[in-house]
Amino acid sequence: MSFVLWKPCYCIGDSKIDAQHRKLVSILNFLHDRILEACSKKLVDRILMELVCYAEEHFQDEESLMEKIRYPALEHHRQEHERLLVEVFAFKKKFDHGLATKMELLHFLRDWLINHVINEDLEIKKYL
């Protein structure tokens, strides 16, 4: 079973953004499966960086969409994206120093992604 299950209620109603969210979830599930197979830290790092790079691209696309629709909370949302990036790099540092386990990393990433979708991204839906 998938570690993170994508639910239709997470959709904001923009096909590109929704597809990107699903891709982020699938990278996270891929990471989970590799961790269950006891993969190397090197591979975890590689998948984590793929997730972060894809998230950065996705944040830019989401911000472009918000600009296009003149989303009123764009600045707040942009700051949230910046905060998410700072947070993920801080957790990565902790992980690199052996202060967090692979499972803790997974749980952090799941909350990091899903809480943002629920609390911030779904707000955009009202303006589409």
- One residue of 57, 68, 121, 126 binding Fe ion per CB under 5 A: 121
Least Å from the CB of residue 89 to Fe ion: 17
Instruction: Kindly tell me which of 13 and 33 has the beta carbon lying closer to Fe ion.
Output: 13
Q: Does 14 bind Fe ion (CB under 5 A)?
A: no
DSSP string, 32-92: HHHHHTT--HHHHHHHHHHHHHHHHHHHHHHHHHHHHTT-TTHHHHHHHHHHHHHHHHHHH
74 near 63, Cβ under 8 Å? yes
Q: Which is nearer to Fe ion, 21 or 32 (CB)?
A: 21
Instruction: Compute the distance between CA of residue 71 and CA of residue 92 in angstroms, rounded to an integer.
Output: 31
**Measured from the CB atom, is 22 or 41 closer to Fe ion?**
22
For the CB of residue 34, give the shortest distance to Fe ion in the complex, in Å: 26
Residue numbers at the binding site for Fe ion (CB under 5 A): 62, 121
